Amino acid sequence: IINNYLGGTQGGAVDKASPSGMHFRDSKRKVDYVLAYHYRKRLARHPAGAGSPEPTHESASLALVSNGGTGKGCAELQRQDGGQYAPQEQPRPLGVEVIELGPLDTLEEEKRLQREEYERNLVEVGLEIEKDPENKSQGLSFVRIHAPWQVLSREAELLKIKMPTKKMYEITEEGGILKTLNEIWCKLTKPLQPQVPQQENTNMKSLSYPFSREKIYLYNIKDKDTFFDNATRSRIVREILKRVSTKARNSTGIGTLIANHVYDAAYPLHDGEYEGQNDDMNERKLLYREWARYGVFYKFQPIDLIRKYFGEKIGLYFAWLGLYTEFLIPSSVVGIIVFLYGCITIEGDIPRDVNVCFSVKKRTLPLCYLLHKFCDYWNLSSACATARASHLFDNPATVFFSIFMALWATMFLEQWKRLQMRLSYFWDLTGLEEEEVSFLSEHPRPEYETKLLQKKLKNKSITTENSNEDEKEKLTWSDRMPGYAANFGLILFMIMLTFSAVFGVIVYRITTAAALSFSTNETTRSNVRVTVTATAVIINLVVILILDEIYGAVAKWLTEIEVPKTEKTFEERLILKAFLLKFVNSYAPIFYVAFFKGRFVGRPGHYVYVFEGYRMEECAPGGCLMELCIQLSIIMLGKQLIQNNLFEIGIPKLKKLFRKLKDERTEPKEMDTNQSKDPQQWDLDYILEPFTGLTPEYMEMIIQFGFVTLFVASFPLAPLFALLNNIIEVRLDAKKFVTELRRPDTVRAKDIGIWYNILSGIGKLSVIINAFVIAVTSDFIPRLMYQYAYSQNGTMHGFINHTLSYFNVSHLKAGTQPENSPFAQDVLFCRFKDYREPPWSQNQYEFSKQYWAVLSARLAFVILFQNLVMFLSVLVDWIIPDIPKDISEQIKKEKSVLLDFFLKEEHEKLKLIESFIARDKQKHKSGTKGERIRAASFCQFNRCQKGSFASFSSQHTEV
């Protein structure tokens, strides 16, 4: 059924639009899907004596000629061999107007023909279509699609969509103390629950079974129009749109047509407005009031309603994000306690407070200069503030916190697997057959089909007589080799670009530090390290933000030139590339500060130089951990504030404004008599931003998860800032999905896919990195070694002196001694931080025994820490089952109830059949004598008796 109001010629009257904007013009049939396209009706006319082309409207008969060549449209065409059409050479009848098409008009005519063919094919498969009249010379038009019951039931059976049956069964709850605690928790959190409709009896669950038309008596079908909800209806129509093809350009599915710009967009409708004074409540408005506003940040998420409206895939994302945010609460509390412990114990830190801050009173030797010739010797007490501040993050509690966070990551992943199984049970995903998954994921992408078509056309001239090879033709490894080579080369180039950016910032730090050291301003010279560190981190942040956007686009382009066959393969490859590039980009500066800065500076008299005049930078006297904390905090907070929040809010609004201005500029200002005053729902949804997938949402959370776990030993407050960000992030994403984006197609998914593997990999990597941060970057191991191996009284007195080596200033190269130094006459030896032999030793300035002892202890700690935490993680994984006990029992119970339900229904069906047979037998016995008398007039007695049994048998077969 096509309701096509062309040219307003339907009796001179135009039907009013649906009041709700969700139905056809008859206000009965629901709009399940919408196709949008731009049309252009201007045709170039070149009649004799005409000056300029004019718009040509549809007439009774037109002959369209493209550039004086092939005929198009309604012209009289004659089919030739090979399926081509050509104009038939015959005299032109009167009243037929010949129009020559320009290149743009030819393209528009081709698109129109493809649309007409595609829409005819949609009608042939059973869909019903309503189109807008094209009254303007050019503009935007919509095709509204409705799926009747016959189509819905057929496709639901094909897709194996689980639907609730008549059978309800009771969910057995755990008894004892767990039930009591659960009831107490529900009462305490009642104010935090969203006010959404709940099932009347939460202890009962409908038994679901894949839809089957043969077993339609199993389902509780009260109204065929509402049996399938809006999300299911749109999902069914989307699968049909993917499957229906057109002969033109061998286009398969709506994806190819959108890629070829035949249609601009295809999307399901939102359930009405999310704001408004009307009292009509819909699911979208309910989600906005109870979920997608910042004012309800304290409430739990209505996960079941999110899943019902957006589908299982998006529902699982928000369930995962909610669980991750909840798990950040205990880690934030422990992180605050660790930080407060550092603040409380800062006064009693003997190595820094006594040995550093009071080194002047003890008249310790000055430390060696930092920059030759222009810098003077300096006192250790000048680094007192930095050394004391580093104690906030470099104390014994950080070791405990690192172990805690490693176990926290393991428990989070285990709890997510349990929650995932619970949701799978209640969302009827436990029996998601592999056939359904493969059916939904095996649709070839439009780009793959185009590439395959090009290959077929290229090989058409050399094809053999064997036609079976053409049917099985596909893209081979050799066809994808250029794409793989480009991927390898460009990914390597991008990683080198990231390292180059890090090296550029290093050069900036070195040169800026040297330049500021020459300043005549005393304040500037005293704050060189703080100035250089702060400005360098900000530059790092800006570079990371810029490269992140570039890498996202590059990863998508690299995945496209690989030409993956299915959307699932495309998504997985895109995720891996984007994660690799963004991981390196986000963490490269942090890895440098944690593990490489200050490791290659050399020693006095033999320093390492870059560009012949600048020394490699080294850590502050208190160590690199404080600088690592500053680097991590600024990059993490900057990325969350700018990229995750400002970009997510601002960029969609700018895109929406740009698209609106573009449409207003391109469309002529003509009166459209058929356009209703109030915009319909399909008009409002078209303005919204199209949904492009969950990859950006997952990516920003995965990168944040890395900040929380990988370097948590240097920044215990990272979970707290992540928690504050995620409280806003949940509502920001919710508002974006409800108000800023078109309604996504519902996608069934059993899990979060490859993201779980990435999370698990980051969790294991965090154990190794935190072990090295504690062992290498902090002073935890050297202090332990000094206290238990070198200290005479078992205390930390004398630790700083133990870590400083001696250097004889007479061994300096000529011309490198400090100029105009007040220390110059008295200084014979200066100190530098390292474990080296003194100048009076035979192996002067070589690494000492203490160096090798400390290095061995560090490596031993890494091995011990890693194995201990891995063992505890495996133990936690083993103790906590992946599937909750009550859920596993319910799954077994559901299978048993389903079997009993089938047997009962089949038994009732057999009883019904037997009753029909018994009734037929009773009728046969009572009517046998009369039948024989009536039959004796035209047949013999024995033949009539056989005939009666034959009739009974036929009746039984019909039943």
Which of residues 632 and 928 earns the better pLDDT score? 632
Q: Give, to the nearest 10 degrees, the angle between helix 849-879 and helix 754-772.
A: 150
- Could you tell me the sign of the dihedral formed by the alpha carbons of 266, 272, 275, 276, in that order? positive
Which of residues 900 and 419 earns the better pLDDT score? 419
pLDDT for res 80 = 38
Q: Categorize the per-residue pLDDT at 248 as very low, low, confident or very high, splitting at 50, 70 and 90.
A: low
Buried b (16+ CB within 10 A) or exposed e, 649-664: eeebeeeeeeeeeeee
What's the maximum distance between 2 C-alpha atoms anywhere in the chain?
148
Q: Categorize the per-residue pLDDT at 6 as very low, low, confident or very high, splitting at 50, 70 and 90.
A: very low
**Which segment, 822-831, 895-904, 919-928, is predicted with the most confidence on average?**
895-904
CA dihedral 197, 200, 201, 205 (to 10 degrees): -60
Distances (CA, A) of 702 to 416, 443, 543, 580, 869: 15, 29, 20, 12, 22
pLDDT (tens digit per residue) in 590-610: 888 888 887 777 777 777 777
> Which long-range contacts does 373-376 make (Cβ < 8 Å, 24+ apart)?
373/815, 373/816, 373/817, 373/818, 373/819, 374/517, 374/518, 374/818, 374/819, 375/517, 375/818, 376/818, 376/821, 376/822, 376/823
3-state secondary structure of 787: helix
Opening angle at CA 539, ends 638 and 709, nearest 5: 45
pLDDT (tens digit per residue) in 513-555: 878 877 777 777 777 777 888 888 889 889 998 998 899 889 9
pLDDT for res 169 = 81
pLDDT for res 72 = 38
pTM of the model: 0.82
Dist. CA 870–CA 566, nearest whole Å: 37
pLDDT for res 19 = 54
> Which long-range contacts does 603-609 make (Cβ < 8 Å, 24+ apart)?
603/805, 603/807, 603/832, 603/834, 603/836, 603/845, 604/368, 604/369, 604/807, 604/812, 604/830, 604/832, 605/807, 605/811, 605/812, 605/813, 605/845, 606/845, 607/372
Calculate the CA 194 to chain-centre distance. 25
pLDDT (tens digit per residue) in 364-382: 556 665 555 555 566 666 6
pLDDT for res 82 = 37
pLDDT for res 108 = 83
> Which of 158-167, 350-359, 772-781, 800-809 is predicted least confidently?
350-359
pLDDT for res 706 = 92
Residue type, position 186, single letter: C
Q: What is the mean pLDDT of residues 598-624?
A: 74
Residue type, position 147, single letter: A
CA-nearest of 410, 312, 521 to 882 is 410
Residues whose CB falls within 8 Å of the CB of residue 367, separated by 6 or more in sequence, listed in order: 377, 378, 379, 380, 621, 804, 830, 831, 832
pLDDT for res 817 = 61
Residue type, position 828, single letter: L
Dist. CA 860–CA 866, nearest whole Å: 10
Q: Categorize the per-residue pLDDT at 98 as very low, low, confident or very high, splitting at 50, 70 and 90.
A: low
pLDDT (tens digit per residue) in 712-732: 888 889 999 999 999 998 999
Count the alpha carbons within 13 Å of 16 in the hemisphere toward its beta carbon.
Answer: 6
pLDDT for res 914 = 83
pLDDT (tens digit per residue) in 789-804: 888 887 777 777 888 8
pLDDT for res 856 = 93
> Which of 420-434, 451-465, 772-786, 832-846 is predicted least confidently?
451-465
pLDDT (tens digit per residue) in 23-81: 888 888 889 999 999 888 755 444 444 444 444 444 333 333 333 333 433 333 343 34
To the nearest whole percent, how much of the chain has pLDDT over 70? 75
Radius of gyration of the chain (CA): 38
| Pair 53, 287: CB distance under 8 Å | no
CA-nearest of 697, 702, 682, 683 to 652 is 697
pLDDT (tens digit per residue) in 903-958: 887 788 788 888 888 888 877 776 655 555 444 444 444 444 444 433 333 333 33
Exposed/middle/buried for residue 177 (C-beta within 10 Å: 0-12, 13-18, 19+): exposed
Per-residue 3-state assignment (H helix, E strand, C coil) for 148-178: CHHHHHHHHHHHCCEEEEEEEEECCCCCCHH
State the CB neighbour count (10 A cutoff) for residue 783.
19
pLDDT (tens digit per residue) in 212-247: 888 888 888 888 888 898 889 999 999 999 888 877
Number of residues in the chain = 959
Residues whose CB falls within 8 Å of the CB of residue 233, separated by 6 or more in sequence, listed in order: 30, 32, 147, 152
pLDDT for res 473 = 65
Model confidence at 764: pLDDT above 80: yes
In the numeric block, the tokens 């993490």 are attached to 636
Q: Categorize the per-residue pLDDT at 205 as very low, low, confident or very high, splitting at 50, 70 and 90.
A: confident
pLDDT for res 342 = 85
| Pair 750, 700: CB distance under 8 Å | no
pLDDT (tens digit per residue) in 271-289: 888 887 666 788 899 999 9
Q: What is the mean pLDDT of residues 297-319?
A: 92
Residue type, position 154, single letter: R
Which of residues 947 and 99 earns the better pLDDT score? 99
CA-nearest of 845, 351, 336, 344 to 623 is 351
**Which segment, 227-241, 671-685, 830-844, 932-946, is predicted with the most confidence on average?**
227-241
To the nearest whole percent, how much of the chain has pLDDT over 90? 19
pLDDT for res 70 = 37
Q: Categorize the per-residue pLDDT at 356 as very low, low, confident or very high, splitting at 50, 70 and 90.
A: low
Dist. CA 633–CA 639, nearest whole Å: 10
Model confidence at 132: pLDDT above 60: yes
pLDDT for res 269 = 92
pLDDT for res 724 = 92
Which tokens belong to 488?
């390898």
| Pair 359, 429: CB distance under 8 Å | no
Dist. CA 319–CA 906, nearest whole Å: 39
CA-nearest of 405, 552, 418, 338 to 877 is 418
Residues whose CB falls within 8 Å of the CB of residue 612, separated by 6 or more in sequence, listed in order: none
Dist. CA 744–CA 742, nearest whole Å: 6
Q: What is the mean pLDDT of residues 682-694?
A: 88
| Pair 142, 15: CB distance under 8 Å | no
Which of residues 252 and 342 earns the better pLDDT score? 342
Strands 77-79 and 829-833: unpaired
Which of residues 139 and 470 earns the better pLDDT score? 139
